[in-house]
Amino acid sequence: MTSAEDPLSHFDDQGNARMVDVGGKAVSERLAVAEGRIAMAPATLERIRAGQVAKGDVLGVARIAAIQAAKQTGTLIPLCHPLPLTSVEVAFAEEDEPPAVRVTVTAKTANRTGVEMEAMTAASVALLTVYDMCKAMDRGMTIGEVRLTEKAGGRSGHWRRSEASGDSGQ
């Protein structure tokens, strides 16, 4: 398939990697929501809750790391467009059974391309930060389930992951 047949392709007609030209697309409000989870020992979750982690406020630091990561996505992902973000919101939820912390990141921009990569990068870095801050007491933590849960704006419109039907929402 050539790039003319697939306007979202990151390869030109000769198969060379390229940044997709979005110059002809209309600027629109874009939103993406991503989430992820880090499973941990019950004692680790309790120490996070109690603010008893030697390195400090785990979720506060992870929130700042997520925002910084969203802003740096264009430098981390080779063919990703650098985007001026209008908003990055980071929320954490503590889960008791099994013990875990879930992060949800909402990224917004007014641009010609979406912010899915910014939201997923931010969620990933937030979870890596939790791991880094807690690894001395729990090296067995497991990061997973990083995924896009919603996107809005642009030509493809609104999309939301459908958990009830078990599909990916496509």
Catalytic pick from 96, 132, 138, 167? 132
- The pLDDT, as a whole number, for residue 22 is 84
pLDDT the model gives residue 143 = 98
pTM to 2 decimal places? 0.88
pLDDT beyond 80 at 9: no
At 1 the pLDDT is 38
Phi, psi torsion values for 24, nearest 5 degrees: -85, -5
Give 42-65 as a DSSP string: HHHHHHHHHT--TT--HHHHHHHH
Collect contacts of 53-57 with beta carbons under 8 A, ≥24 apart.
53/133, 53/134, 53/137, 54/136, 55/133, 56/133
For residues 70 and 64, the answer to whether their CB atoms sit within 8 Å is no
Instruction: Give the pLDDT of residue 6.
Output: 55
Rounded to the nearest integer, the mean pLDDT of the chain is 91
User: What is residue 60's predicted lDDT score, i.e. its pLDDT?
Assistant: 98
In this prediction, residues 9-23 reach a mean pLDDT of 81
| pLDDT score of 23 more than 90 | no
| pLDDT recorded at residue 165 | 47
Does the structure show a pLDDT above 90 at 51?
yes
Check: CB of residue 53 under 8 Å from CB of residue 141. Answer: no
Instruction: Read off the pLDDT of each residue in 15-36 and give the average, rounded to a whole number.
Output: 88
Number of CB atoms found within 10 A of residue 65's CB: 20
> Has residue 167 got a pLDDT over 80?
no
* CA contacts within 13 A on the Cβ side of 126: 32
The predicted model gives 70-87 an average pLDDT of: 95
* Strand partners of residue 22: none
12 an active-site residue? no
User: Cα–Cα distances in Å, from 145 out to 62, 86, 108?
Assistant: 17, 26, 21
pLDDT digits (tens, 9 = 90+) for 116-148: 999 999 999 999 999 999 999 999 999 999 999
134 neighbors 143 (Cβ within 8 angstroms): no
Residues β-bridged to residue 105 = 34, 90
Q: Is the pLDDT score of 4 beyond 50?
A: no
Whether 32 shows a pLDDT value over 80: the answer reads yes
